Homo-oligomer: A and B are copies of this chain.
C-alpha cells in the first residue's frame, strides 16, 4: 500500500511500472501504429469522446497549448477562476493576447452556473470559455454538465475548453454528450502514471479551429492531430509513458468507468465522514471527489503534515499560495481507495 496521498502525483501501481519497462519501439513503425490505435480507442472510452490524442508534457503545457491552438489573439474568452490553476489559465489567456473576460470568485468559493450566466447577460460574440472542472488547489468543483449546457444554449458556437486534470477518470465526464470542445487531463492523476504526458479530447468544432503553423511548433495541437491520422507522433513519442497510460486505460476499461468513479467517490465520502468524527473540517464549497482539502481547528496544518510523515510515512500536500498553513490536501484518485483511507484515518487520529 502506497502512503503517497498528494492529489498528483499519485502512486504508480506495479502493473503500470511493468508496462513502462517494455522494450522501446520506434514511433514510426507498424508496431507503434497498432499499439497507438488501440490506446486511442481506450482513451476515447475514458473521455467518452470520439476524437482524442496525447502529447508530451505537464498538465500546464496541455491546457496552455490547447488554448494557444484553438483561440486567436483578440478573441473574447471568458476564464472562470477560483484557485491557483484556474488563475494560471487567466494569466495564460492574457499572455496569448486574448480579450480576457474574467469571472473570479475567492479561493474555496464555488463557481455557480447562475452567477456565470448572469455575468454574461449582455455579452455577445463570446468566442470561448475556459473552465477548470475540479480546482486542485481548493477541491472546488464546477457543475460542468449544467454550465456547459447553459453556455451552449446562449452561445451555440462558443468553444468550451475544460481543464479536466483532476476530474477525468475520477468523476463522471462525458466529453461528447456534454458538448465540450476541448478536454485535457494529465497522466499523474486518475491515470496513475508518472507525470509527463497529457491526454485530450476534441469536438469537431475544436478540430475545425486548429491551423497549421510549422512542424516545430510543439504547442500546436494541429501537429499532433495530423500525426494521429497516420497513428504516429509529430515528435519522438514517449513510448514508455504511453505503455504506462495504456495499462491504466485497460485497467479502467476492465473495471468499467462507473466502478472507477464510484471507488473515488466512496474514498472521498469515507474520508469526509471520518474527518467530521475527528473534529475536522473540509475546506471549500461544492467539493470534488478527487481530493479533500481539510483542516482541524485545534491542530496546525503544517505540524500535522510533518507528524503524519515522520510517524507514519504519509505524504500529503500543503495548501497553495495563501492557503499554505491553513489546509492540507489528500487524494482519492487512483489507488487511494477506502482501504487506504481507513489506514490513513487511523494514523490521523493518532496525530490529533
Contact = CB atoms under 8 A, between A and B. Distances in A.
Interface stretch (A38-46, A84-92, A112-120, A153-161): A84-92
Number of copies: 2
Contact of A188 (B59, B91, B236, B315): B236
Contacts of A238: 194-196
Given A91-B216, A216-B88, A4 B17 contact: no
B60 A216 contact: yes
B215 A59 contact: no
Interface residues of A, number: 54
Nearest to A85: B216
A351 interface: no
Contact of A235 (B6, B60, B217, B236): B60
A140 interface: no
13 contacts: A9-B236, A11-B23, A12-B23, A20-B21, A24-B194, A58-B235, A60-B235, A89-B216, A92-B217, A95-B214, A194-B240, A195-B235, A196-B238
Nearest to A63: B216
A218 B26 contact: no
Most chain B beta-carbon neighbours within 10 Å: one of A186, A241, A317, A318? A241
A197 interface: yes
